[in-house]
């Protein structure tokens, strides 16, 4: 089965991002295709490389990046939600005159159309939120 995953909440504050990660991992391990993971609302905050969680806790951002590296996952961050919440890549930094970027490896910023397209192309859309 081909899956689209939507993540609506940021890391640590809500368990939604944890659930989405474990679900995505389990689906990949079962051989399903994950067409795209789309980060929306505060979900975009999963994509900042500036996090430094305590040593004895999970690193939610790195976990997504590593899963994407292993499975060539498409991790898409909604541009409108990212602008409101300060998630920036090189393109956004230039467009909006920002002096730094914070996006983590394997994440890309793109439009909401990517969510709609993922829902059309996939057999199932699974939403994780608060």
Partner 1 sequence: MADLYTVNKSPFEKNSLEAVIRFSTEGAAILMLEDGVYGATKGTVVESMITGAENKKFYALGSDLKARGIAEDRVIDGVELVDYAGFVDLVEANEKVQAWL
Partner 2 sequence: MSEVKNFMYLNRRAPYGTIYAWESLEVVLIGAAFDQKVSLMFVDDGVYQLVKGSDTSTSDMKNFMPTYRTLGDYGVRHMYVDQASLAARGLTADDLIQVEWEDWETEEEIDNIVEVVDADSVAKLMSESDVVFSF
φ, ψ dihedrals at 13, nearest 5°: -60, -45
Residue 100 found at the interface with its own copies (CB under 8 A): yes
CB atoms under 10 Å from CB of 90, counted, come to 11
**Residue in this structure with the two tokens 């504050």, named with its chain if needed:** 13
Residue 40 found at the interface with partner 2 (CB under 8 A): yes
Residue 68 found at the interface with its own copies (CB under 8 A): no
How many residues at the interface with its own copies, by CB under 8 A? 29
Pairing type for strands 33-39 and 107-110 reads: unpaired
Site mask for partner 1 (CB under 8 A), range 14-33, x = bound: -xx--x--xx-xxx-xx-x-
The partner in contact with residue 26, picked from its own copies, partner 2, partner 1, none with C-beta cut-offs of 5 to 8 angstroms by kind, is partner 1
Angle between helices 60-71 and 16-29 (to 10 degrees): 20
Residue 116 found at the interface with partner 2 (CB under 8 A): yes
The residue from 78, 79, 87, 104 that is catalytic is: 78
Question: What CA–CA distance (Å, rounded) separates 62 from 104?
Answer: 8
Q: 17 or 48, CB closer to partner 1? A: 17
CB atoms under 10 Å from CB of 38, counted, come to 27
For residue 90, the minimal CB distance to partner 1 (Å) is 33
């Amino acid at each position: 089965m081909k899956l689209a995953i939507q993540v609506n909440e940021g890391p640590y504050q809500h368990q939604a991002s944890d659930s989405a990660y474990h679900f995505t991992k389990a689906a990949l391990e079962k051989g399903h295709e994950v067409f795209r993971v789309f980060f929306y609302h505060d979900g975009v905050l999963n994509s900042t490389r500036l996090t430094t969680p305590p040593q004895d806790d999970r690193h939610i951002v790195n976990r997504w990046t590593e899963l994407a590296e292993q499975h060539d996952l498409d991790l898409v961050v909604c541009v409108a939600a990212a602008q409101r919440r300060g998630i920036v890549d090189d393109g956004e930094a230039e467009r909006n005159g920002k002096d730094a970027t914070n996006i983590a490896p394997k994440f890309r910023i793109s439009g909401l159309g990517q969510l709609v397209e993922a829902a059309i192309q996939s057999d199932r859309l699974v939403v994780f939120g608060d």
